């Protein structure tokens, strides 16, 4: 490529006094390119070619001085992989992708590079430098594809929302130049560089702040604190020029608020981005907000006139704030004596605060039916729906402050405005921080009923207004080189969770909800966007406070899926493959061996340990179960057919016979329908639970409840596995050409004398499955597709023979002792 055609691809600072300029092709000129600062704000002290290996930090490869293409993997970017025991390979278009796994010639080895230990593979460059470019990724010996850096310049989309790396023949590491500055540059200004060609100045290229900037962190407590000698306010704003605090005692006095300048707070002789103000009075109950000014460029969204809600505010009046100053003594601590259930014992229901209480059949005011206080009274009622159903955990849809405009406005809550305040829209008096006490009491009420509380948390993006965007867009959000927001969440922005203080914000928020409210666990929305490495940091942090905390990931986003990468961690994952398969299977599709895999707990490929798979068939997203599988037109299952009901019974039997954590959706036990509507994010009228519906379908509601009771009882212990069972624990029987299945639990007797046998047939014709030696055992019928049986009663004809009879769209559960 000629000098005239070359341009600057990107430029960034590696520290406050050194940076890199990357050209879009290798430089072949005899002298250095004419690269220079684009502003008078700084000057180069030195400029020269960067070490070839520096390019590998961005691209994953470089070509060395002897013509070898060197693939480079930094293990620090993939802390969830144990590289001491796990081999890693280079796989791509040049070696058959997956075929490279296990091939010594494509295996990487540890080696020192620029003072750090990395994994390398050297191959002759010639065959790999082609046009179009060869594509590659790194993959572990157990077939886990390693994530790519989001800001790499050689990412190539595959057309399906995924990316590979490209080996560009004209980018080999000779396209990078390193410079130093005459003095450290302040972070609160904008900078650019230029490339002068033929005496003509090319357009300026913005100089980004690199990894050192996103690694900035402080250990100082943040937020608003009431102390003996007054009140202290701290905010992390690393590129701010000025930070101003506004305070008022009354909500209606905001126009007359007092303003105070915050000062930079040094730590150990240096400044780490924290601003602080201290006032000599107790400001408990006062209202406050910030304004922040900073550089006006595409990487900043500094608007000094914008009222910014403190990201660490423990209570907020609404989505725009203001925050409320709270004395820690008033907030108090949660009673944490409740024993969180063991993971393998969990039976969970996903639910929504307002959906649960809106039509609760108890005396409540209209105000109480909007949130926490009404739900407390419903939970404490002897007729409380979830207590009678028999579950021992609720997974509440988001309860953080979200971006509803009024208290009455209904939404699911996935557009978070603050990560420390419970939702003011669910409070009786959000302006007085009643949400703090109300949510504390709600968690305690659930605990008194023996029900653990898991809350859905949304750290992958933020709602409106995006307060963090006004504090520092570059630090807190994923951006491209032009400053545009990434949007793999589908919600307008992606939080840069890997920035050090964003990770700390997540950890501090979770710990706050454990210590202040006593919650038992968390479900992480679109966890793929948070990233495996951040999730591991989060796990370590929260388990120091609560070792038995329940951690669940929704392991995907519009960009990818990380369930396989989470297998070595302490997270369970929502199993979308399970959901899709069961929906198909009960309608006669799907193979028996796939059902066997899911009944065994999705071992190894999805889950390393049994409770790592969260098995579900319906969630808040999309249509309800009955609307998906109904025989009716337009996905409207409000009036289900007999087959709809029977297939639902098959579904719940599969769900509770499967190893893993079973998760129901609210109202699934009484065939809740949303009339076929797919997206009900704002439809409180459709989402509210109709408590008359269990009376319409009492047998189905009872069938769910009986399965829950059986699974949680001693008799169901074989379904609640914590560690992987012995090789002979499961035995399966099938019939050729069909997808019916009989599975025996504890067939080898490795877990005592008790055995269970589960048989299922999704077809509209009856079947009989040979069960061999198991026909000689003495079996007691526990349940079929209609109901559970007690005291030895059973329907006529239900006996175990060599060919076990299973009626059409039917199932049965048997118990034996040998």
pLDDT at 794: 72
CB 650 within 8 A of CB 809: yes
Sequence-distant (6+) residues with CB within 8 A of 502 are 475, 476, 495, 496
pLDDT at 4: 47
Tell me the mean pLDDT in the region 715-721: 96
CB 171 within 8 A of CB 152: no
Distance CA(170)–CA(552), nearest Å, equals 44
CA 44 to each of CA 182, 185, 210, 564: distance values in angstroms, whole numbers, following the listed order:
6, 11, 17, 46
**DSSP secondary structure letters along 252-275:** GGGGG-EEEE-EEEEETTEEEEEE
197 confidence band (pLDDT: 50, 70, 90): confident
Q: Is the peptide bond before 132 cis (omega within 30 degrees of 0)?
A: yes
Three-state SS at 737: coil
Looking at residue 147, what DSSP letter applies? P
5, exposed or middle or buried, with CB in 10 Å at 0-12, 13-18, 19+?
exposed
Three-state SS at 685: helix
Looking at residue 132, what DSSP letter applies? S
CB 590 within 8 A of CB 584: yes
CB 196 within 8 A of CB 34: yes
Pairing between β-strand 741-745 and β-strand 754-761 as defined by DSSP bridges: antiparallel
pLDDT at 161: 67
**pLDDT per residue over 527-542, tens digit each?**
999 999 999 999 999 9
CB 297 within 8 A of CB 206: yes
| Owner of token pair 């406070």 | 545
Q: For the CA atoms of the chain, what is the radius of gyration?
A: 30
CB 317 within 8 A of CB 250: no
Task: Tell me: pLDDT of 3 over 60.
Answer: no
Distance CA(674)–CA(734), nearest Å, equals 37
**pLDDT per residue over 256-272, tens digit each?**
999 999 999 999 889 99
Looking at residue 693, what DSSP letter applies? H
Q: How many residues in the chain?
A: 818
Biggest CA pair distance of the chain: 97
200 confidence band (pLDDT: 50, 70, 90): confident
Q: What share of the chain is helix, strand, coil (3-state, %, to 5)?
A: 25, 30, 45
Sequence-distant (6+) residues with CB within 8 A of 558 are 161, 488, 489, 490
650 confidence band (pLDDT: 50, 70, 90): very high
Distance CA(258)–CA(255), nearest Å, equals 9
Three-state SS at 466: coil
Distance CA(210)–CA(203), nearest Å, equals 21
Sequence-distant (6+) residues with CB within 8 A of 557 are 460, 488, 489, 526, 528, 529
pLDDT at 218: 96
Orientation angle between helical segments 434-448 and 372-379, nearest 10 degrees: 20
Tokens representing 744 are: 């025996």
Orientation angle between helical segments 500-517 and 532-545, nearest 10 degrees: 30
Sequence-distant (6+) residues with CB within 8 A of 255 are none
**pLDDT per residue over 582-601, tens digit each?**
999 999 999 999 999 999 99
**pLDDT per residue over 455-510, tens digit each?**
999 999 999 999 999 999 999 999 998 899 999 999 999 999 999 999 999 999 99
198 confidence band (pLDDT: 50, 70, 90): low
**pLDDT per residue over 8-20, tens digit each?**
999 999 999 999 9
Number of C-alpha atoms within 13 angstroms, CB side, residue 226? Answer: 16
Pairing between β-strand 200-201 and β-strand 192-197 as defined by DSSP bridges: antiparallel
Distance CA(653)–CA(595), nearest Å, equals 12
313 confidence band (pLDDT: 50, 70, 90): very high
Number of C-alpha atoms within 13 angstroms, CB side, residue 690? Answer: 17
């Amino acid at each position: 490529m000629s000098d005239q055609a070359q341009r600057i691809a990107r430029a960034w600072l590696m520290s406050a006094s050194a940076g890199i300029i990357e050209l879009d092709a290798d430089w072949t000129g005899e002298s250095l390119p004419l690269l220079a600062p684009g502003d008078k704000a700084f000057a180069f002290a030195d400029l020269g070619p960067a070490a070839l290996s520096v390019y590998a930090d961005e691209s994953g490869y470089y070509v060395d001085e002897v013509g070898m293409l060197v693939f480079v993997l930094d293990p620090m970017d993939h802390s969830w992989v144990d590289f001491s025991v796990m081999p890693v390979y280079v796989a791509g278009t040049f070696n058959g992708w997956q075929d490279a796994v296990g091939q010594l010639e494509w295996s990487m080895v540890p080696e020192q590079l620029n003072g750090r230990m990395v994994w390398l593979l050297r191959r002759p460059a010639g065959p790999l430098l082609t046009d179009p470019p060869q594509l590659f990724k790194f993959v572990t010996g157990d077939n886990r594809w390693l994530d790519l850096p989001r800001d790499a310049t050689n990412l190539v989309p595959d057309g399906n929302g995924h990316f590979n790396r490209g080996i560009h023949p004209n980018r080999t590491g000779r396209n990078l130049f390193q410079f130093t500055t005459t003095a450290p540059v302040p972070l609160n200004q904008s900078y650019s560089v230029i490339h002068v060609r033929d005496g003509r100045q090319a357009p300026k290229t913005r100089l980004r702040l690199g990894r050192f900037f996103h690694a900035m962190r402080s250990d100082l407590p943040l937020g608003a604190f009431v102390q003996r000698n007054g009140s202290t306010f701290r905010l992390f704003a690393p590129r701010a020029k000025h930070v101003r605090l506004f305070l008022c005692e009354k909500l209606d006095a905001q126009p007359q608020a007092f303003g105070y300048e915050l000062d930079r707070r040094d730590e150990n002789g240096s400044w780490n981005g924290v601003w602080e103000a201290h006032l000599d009075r107790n400001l408990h109950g006062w209202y406050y907000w910030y304004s922040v000014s900073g550089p006006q460029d595409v990487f900043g969204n500094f608007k000094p006139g914008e009222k910014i809600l403190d990201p660490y505010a423990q209570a907020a009046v609404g989505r725009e704030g203001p925050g409320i100053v709270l004395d820690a003594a008033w907030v108090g601590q949660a009673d944490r004596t409740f024993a969180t259930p063991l993971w393998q014992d969990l039976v969970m229901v996903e639910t929504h605060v307002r959906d649960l209480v809106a039509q609760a059949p108890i005396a409540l005011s209209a105000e109480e039916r909007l949130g926490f206080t009404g739900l407390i009274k419903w939970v404490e009622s002897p007729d409380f729906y979830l207590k009678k159903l028999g579950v021992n955990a609720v997974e509440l849809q988001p309860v953080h402050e979200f971006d509803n405009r009024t208290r009455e406005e209904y939404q699911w809550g996935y557009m978070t405005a603050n990560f420390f305040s419970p939702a003011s829209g669910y409070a009786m008096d959000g302006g007085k921080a009643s949400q703090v006490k109300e949510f504390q009491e709600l968690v305690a009420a659930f605990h008194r009923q023996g029900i653990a509380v898991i809350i859905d948390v949304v750290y992958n993006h933020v709602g409106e207004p995006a307060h963090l965007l006004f504090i520092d867009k570059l630090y807190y959000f994923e951006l491209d080189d032009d400053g545009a927001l990434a949007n793999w969440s589908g919600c307008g922005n992606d939080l840069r969770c890997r920035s050090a203080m964003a990770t700390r914000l997540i950890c501090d928020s979770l710990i706050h909800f454990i210590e202040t409210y006593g919650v038992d666990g968390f479900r992480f929305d679109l966890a793929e966007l948070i990233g495996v490495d951040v999730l591991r940091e989060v796990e370590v942090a929260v388990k120091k406070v609560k070792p038995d905390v329940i951690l669940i990931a929704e392991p995907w986003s519009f960009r990818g899926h990380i369930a396989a990468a989470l297998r070595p961690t302490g997270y369970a994952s929502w199993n979308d493959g399970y959901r899709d398969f069961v929906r198909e299977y009960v309608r006669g599709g799907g193979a028996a061996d796939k059902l066997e895999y899911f009944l065994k707990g999705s071992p190894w490929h999805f889950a390393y340990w049994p409770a790592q798979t969260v098995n579900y068939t319906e969630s808040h997203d999309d249509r309800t179960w009955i609307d998906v599988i109904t025989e009716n037109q337009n996905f409207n299952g409000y009036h289900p057919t007999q087959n709809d009901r029977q297939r639902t019974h098959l579904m719940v039997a599969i769900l509770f016979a499967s190893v893993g954590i079973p998760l129901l959706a609210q109202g699934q036990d009484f065939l809740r329908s949303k009339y076929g509507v797919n997206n009900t994010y704002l439809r409180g009228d459709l989402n509210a639970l109709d408590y008359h519906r269990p009376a319409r379908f009492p047998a189905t509601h009872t069938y769910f409840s009986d399965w829950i009771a059986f699974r949680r009882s001693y008799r169901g212990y074989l379904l609640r596995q914590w560690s992987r069972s012995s090789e002979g624990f499961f035995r399966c029987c099938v019939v050729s050409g069909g997808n019916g299945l009989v599975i025996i639990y504890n067939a080898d007797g490795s877990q005592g004398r008790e055995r269970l046998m589960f048989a299922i047939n999704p077809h509209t014709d009856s079947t009989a499955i040979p069960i061999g030696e198991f026909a000689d055992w003495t079996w007691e019928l526990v349940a079929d597709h209609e109901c559970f049986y007690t005291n030895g009663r059973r329907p006529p004809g239900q006996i175990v023979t060599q060919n076990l009879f299973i009626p059409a769209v039917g199932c049965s559960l048997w118990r034996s002792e040998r």
